[in-house]
Amino acid sequence: MIFEEAGVPAFEAVNLTRSYRLEGVSVDALRGVSLRIHHGESVAIVGPSGSGKSTLMHLLGCLDRPTSGTLRVDGADVSTLDDAGLAELRNKAIGFVFQSFHLLGRTSALDNVALPLVYRGVGRAERRERARRALEAVGLAHRLDHRPSQMSGGEQQRVAIARALVGDPKVVLADEPTGNLDSRNGQEVMGILADLNTARGVAVVLVTHEREVAEAARRQIHVRDGLIERDTVSGTGPR
Amino acid sequence: MALEALRVNRLRSALTMFGVVIGVSAVVILVAIGTGAKEAIEGEIAGLGSNIILVVPGQVGLGAAPTQSRLDLNDVAYVRRVVGDPAKVTVAVNSGESVRVGRTEVFATITGTDEYMPNIFERPLRRGRYLSGTDVDTRRRVAVLGAEVGEKLFGDVDPIGRQVTIAGVRFRVIGLYESVGATFGVARDQEVHIPVTTAQRLIGLSRINGIAVGASGPDEIEPLRQRVVDGLSGRYPGERFSAVTQTQLLGTIGSVLGMLTGVLAAIAGISLLVGGVGVSNIMLVSVRERTREIGLRKALGARGRDVLGQFLIEAVLLTTIGGVIGILLGVGGSLLIQALSPVPAAITWWSIALAFGVSAGVGVFFGVAPARRAARLDPVIALRAE
Ligand SMILES: Nc1ncnc2c1ncn2[C@@H]1O[C@H](COP(=O)(O)OP(=O)(O)O)[C@@H](O)[C@H]1O
Ligand SMILES: [Mg+2]
């Protein structure tokens, strides 16, 4: 066993499959994936383009439901939850970072970051205060009122990380977070994610097709053709 | 949040609202005109006097041929006995005649009536006196002029005591009425009242055109009407008599005008409906354009009903803002129409409340389909959309 950590895993997948049906043709994006990711881990999901990484991440993030197999998030079988239950789980337990940032274009950084708290019913003043602290944590205290269009790509992705953080999730799922960034900004974003993991103990699951990015994580799960090919722990990354 | 989304797309929001603005202002204006016309006519009827019953021979109704009158002054006396109070009954004999003073000549409705006329009809005097019982009994050649007749014949000069020639016969002016305007196109200011007895001789007629009975209260109208009609029918078996009350007139006119107002409101409602379809379309476009935003919101924890609520609120906000603008335009337009044309406009609170309610309703109704589409979007597909 690679994992000795005690307690309920953050994610436990057993034989997950996901097929898409496109005009009668079935595409098997995932063909039976089993894994466990524990709280506080730092994991990179690596694989070539089209191998099913994003599909896996969407399943882990409860954005999508598996075609078959079982997924437990924090011990709870997601198949027992309805859509509203999944939405609540996403809101409370998971933070997302996307390749293309996915910020609301005409909304200030502060309000973008505060958005998850809206769906948690947090009052406006507290929302803004928590959003401000999250932005400070990613080094954007001076950009609170800026709109995405007024910020660099690196800054936008840091806003997105702040938004992922603001609700104090147990896990941050990042799909190609550096994919749209130059290497300097990419490194900065990776640094913030690493900090998050080490300093706050948040599990970070990173999806990437870039080897160097993957090596920043302690554990690498290699995906190919919808299957896990290899699951390795390298000494270099954080925990 | 919803307001922000509308502000972001100002031009589109404005275009969407346009249909609702037009629809709502049309509702307010058309209802104001319909109501104004109704109030004006009801005012005219009420202005006749109160609790009046008009007795005429034959059948009264739209398109009914006028019946040759067989009523005469004996029948008036009979009705007086039926009613029990002679002062509550008056009579009319009408004829169009020319009225002349020197070289000035006007055409007027000569109405033969009696001293009880002012008890029943609202005909305030400006000068002089009404016809008296003696005038009627002794068949005096005296006349009370309608305001317009007096004005045309005498101008600013006091006509009391002066002579006028009616159908070649000289009369002495004893009174001048205040202007009372027209009722049902009957220009009452163009009337000249003379004693009924004098009128019958002048016209060469022993008949009368109608009897008017004044009830002492609204509750008395119906039984009194029934008694008069039954009495006359008993007196002339096989003949029909009609007694029309103001309430009936008001009811008829009211329902006709109510129908008119309804038709106008329906036309306006259709334009509101068209506006609503516009809202629906534009919201659908907006949902398509904002697919990624919806996906993101769902990823961040928005439930289907949060998204539904957001889009519904946007739609309702859009239509109610349009509604308020439409109400302002409608009120302004009504006042303008009233100021610039003879069409009376009465702005009613219910039409404003209705227009506002309907525009909010249109928002909900036409916002539901796009909002549901948004709420049902699969977050993964929405996030992958470009
Ligand atoms: N919504 C979809 N409909 C049909 N096929 C899809 C859909 N999403 C992903 N796929 C397919 O599933 C496979 C895995 O896609 P994805 O998980 O995005 O891979 P990766 O993120 O590793 O590049 C690909 O072949 C892709 O074309
Ligand atoms: Mg991908």
pLDDT at A1 over 50: no
The ipTM estimated for the assembled molecules is 0.93
Atom 18 (ligand 1) nearest CA: A54
pLDDT at A4: 47
- Contacting B residues, span 230-289, partner chain A, CB-CB under 8 Å: none
Q: Chain A contact for B376, CB < 8 A?
A: no
Residue A58 with chain B: CB contacts under 8 Å: 380
Q: Which of B1, B295, B298 sits opposite A87 (nearest CB)?
A: B298
Residues 6+ apart with CB under 8 A from B194: B110, B111, B112, B113, B131, B141, B142, B143, B144, B166, B171, B202
User: Cβ–Cβ of A104/B305 closer than 8 Å?
Assistant: no
Q: Which of A83, A90, A118 sits opposite B299 (nearest CB)?
A: A90
CA–CA dist A161, A191 (Å, integer): 12
User: Cβ–Cβ of B1/A118 closer than 8 Å?
Assistant: yes
Q: Tokens for A172, please give them.
A: 């941050």
User: Cβ–Cβ of A119/B379 closer than 8 Å?
Assistant: no
**Residue from A17, A19, A27 whose mutation best tests the ligand 1 pocket (most atoms within 8 A of CB):** A27
Residue A117 with chain B: CB contacts under 8 Å: none
User: Cβ–Cβ of B300/A88 closer than 8 Å?
Assistant: no
Q: Measuring from each residue's beta carbon to the nearest atom of ligand 1, which residues come in under 6 Å?
A: A 20, 22, 27, 29, 47, 49-55; B 381
Atom 11 (ligand 1) nearest CA: A29
Residue in this structure with the two tokens 């006007």, named with its chain if needed: B106
- Ligand nearest A50 Cα, by number? 1
C-alpha B381 to ligand 1 mean position (Å): 11
Q: Chain B contact for A104, CB < 8 A?
A: yes
Q: Chain B contact for A87, CB < 8 A?
A: yes
Confidence band, pLDDT 50/70/90 cuts, at residue A235: low
- Ligand nearest A98 Cα, by number? 2
- Ligand nearest A33 Cα, by number? 1
Contact B212, B53 (CB under 8 A): yes
Residue among A56, A107, A117, A119 with most chain B CBs within 10 A, to mutate: A119
C-alpha A175 to ligand 2 mean position (Å): 7
In terms of CATH architecture, what is A39-59+83-233? 3-Layer(aba) Sandwich (3.40)
* pLDDT greater at residue B53 or residue A78: A78
Contact B160, B166 (CB under 8 A): no
pLDDT at B63: 47
pTM above 0.95, yes or no: no
3-class SS letters over chain B? CHHHHHHHCHHHHHHHHHHHHHHHHHHHHHHHHHHHHHHHHHHHHHHCCCCEEEEEECCCCCCCCCCCCCCEHHHHHHHHHHHCCHHHEEEEEEEEEEEEECCEEEEEEEEEECCCHHHHCCCCEEEECCCCHHHHHCCCCEEEECHHHHHHHHCCCCCCCCEEEECCEEEEEEEEECCCCEECCEEHHHEEEEEHHHHHHHHCCCECCEEEEECCCHHHHHHHHHHHHHHHHHHCCCCCEEEEEHHHHHHHHHHHHHHHHHHHHHHHHHHHHHHHHHHHHHHHHHHHHCHHHHHHHHHCCCCHHHHHHHHHHHHHHHHHHHHHHHHHHHHHHHHHHHHHCCCCCCCCHHHHHHHHHHHHHHHHHHHHHHHHHHHHCCHHHHHHCC
* pLDDT greater at residue B386 or residue A106: A106
Q: Chain A contact for B9, CB < 8 A?
A: no
**Residue from B377, B381, B384, B386 whose mutation best tests the ligand 1 pocket (most atoms within 8 A of CB):** B384
CA of B379: which chain A residue's CA is closest?
A: A63
Q: How far is CA B352 from CA B89, B177, B320, B325, B356, in A?
A: 45, 40, 12, 11, 6
Q: Which of B98, B127, B103, B121 is CA-nearest to residue B51?
A: B121
* pLDDT in single tens digits along all 386 residues of chain B: 566 666 667 777 787 788 888 888 888 888 888 888 877 777 777 777 778 888 877 765 444 445 566 788 888 999 999 888 889 999 998 888 999 998 899 999 999 999 999 988 888 999 999 999 999 999 999 999 999 999 999 998 999 999 999 999 999 999 999 988 766 556 788 999 999 999 999 988 888 888 899 888 878 888 888 888 888 888 888 777 778 887 777 777 778 877 887 887 788 778 778 888 888 888 888 888 889 999 999 999 999 999 999 999 988 988 899 899 999 999 999 999 888 877 778 888 888 888 888 888 888 988 899 999 999 999 998 888 76
Q: At residue B154, what is the residue type?
A: F
Residue A57 with chain B: CB contacts under 8 Å: none
